[in-house]
Amino acid sequence: MWYNMRERRGFLDLRQMIRRTIIVVFTVFTAVLLSGCLRITADELYRLPQVSEEYQKLQQHINSVLNQGAEFSPPTGGPNRQAVQLEDLNGDGKNEVIAFFSFPGDSSLKVYIFEMIDNDYAVAAVIEGVGTEIDSVRYVDMNGDGVMEIIVGWKMGDSLKHMTIYSIQDFQCVLLAGAEYTGITVYDLNGNGNDDVVALRLSSADSAAVAEVFTLMPDGEVVKAETRLSNGIEKISRVLTGRLNDGVPAIFVESEGKYDKGTLVTDICTYQHGNFTNISLRTPSGISEENIREFMQCSDINKDGVIKVPIPGLLKAQSETAYHTIDWYSFNSSGHSRLALTTYHNNTDEWFLILPLDWRDKVSVRREDAVSGERTVVFSYIAGEDRPYEDFLKIHRLTGDKAEERAALPGRFMLQSEGATLFVFELLAAPNSLGLSFDEAIIRGNFRLIYSDWLAGTI
């Protein structure tokens, strides 16, 4: 699934609109009743509030379409999936109603736009397409004129999808551009304050995998540019939008394939001075080789506004169990990377620690889970090849009836609580000893919880 968090959400289908109207009317009604300002009979008390006249009229218009042999056909993907949606398309402060239908009799698909005129709805425009179903819809003001463009994705078969961009200025639907696609994302790539549309397409027998960007100019002209994605990608699994370490907007296309160093590769694409470029394609192989790894997804891991690419590293072992760090690399607009930070992730206990730079190659970890309700990770200093490891930090995850009691044991400091789960730590050596940076402030400042939407193999 490809989506932009800035895109509008929360469109309601007709039943939801009616339900909310009933709730609001009933709430006001109850408040008046309790105030003692209204006398009412028992029969009147149990009578349901009436749906507003405008929604009744809208239902009539929708029924007239359904009576022509149509069926509701809501988008099956993307951020907006209701059969009936609300959106202020022309910037006049009033929502239009957008409804999605299929017509099994002639295998057509139609998007109806209803406009409110004099307390009644009327059909303002109809967008027609062909295919098996509507894949997605997005509403984007691509040129800053206050009127939304509508981007519709049509499914043409099991694997073929076609995107169309429509202008609806004065509710005259004009086709601006179209393209076959595997996925769509929306983002302001050129930094002019208006969102652009990016279509991603896997390779075929005739062409390589590409990303295409569509920009709408103030005069209504669509400018299109494309750049290649890595050779060998078989599935586009995720697209992330964000900024590089020099502030340039970029899209991060994460794709699956079979490579010597792993199964996931990230292509980083920017749109600068009219040039759409995959800045991570820096080798003759046609693959973003620096960004190949096993399945860990990009993230703004430390919330500084810059997207990083994770590359795992193996810690020196104290047992047969393998433990890893993750090096997070940021990129600039020329495609050059630098190490931004290193983390240790404990997905089982749902926390991670940002490791100070002077811990690099000098620290190992192991688990200690001998106490019921207490899961512990021990950090040790590697003094030398033939010298014993020196423990200097323990982080505990405490659960159960005795969690608070064990958190209060001497030498333990609270990190964070999450419901009935407590996270605490102990320093086993003097702060900032062993040639390492660590004290209470550093551990507290570098500790983070992992939330469920980060998991599923992402980090």
Give 5's pLDDT tier (boundaries 50, 70, 90). very low
User: Residue 375 contacts by C-beta under 8 Å, 6 or more apart in sequence?
Assistant: 348, 349, 367, 369, 396, 397
The pair of structure tokens assigned to 118 is 């004099």
pLDDT digits (tens, 9 = 90+) for 384-428: 877 889 999 999 999 999 999 999 999 999 999 999 999 999 999
Query: What pLDDT score was predicted for residue 44?
Result: 55
Counting residues of the chain whose pLDDT is more than 90, the rounded percentage is 76
Give 317's pLDDT tier (boundaries 50, 70, 90). confident
Please determine, for residue 79, whether its predicted confidence score (pLDDT) is greater than 80: yes
Backbone angles phi, psi at 443, to 5 degrees: -65, -45
Kind and range of the H or E run holding 126: strand 120-130
| Rounded mean pLDDT, 249-278 | 96
Query: What pLDDT score was predicted for residue 373?
Result: 95
Query: What pLDDT score was predicted for residue 21?
Result: 47
> Whole-prediction pTM value?
0.84
Please determine, for residue 7, whether its predicted confidence score (pLDDT) is greater than 50: no
| Rounded mean pLDDT, 279-303 | 93
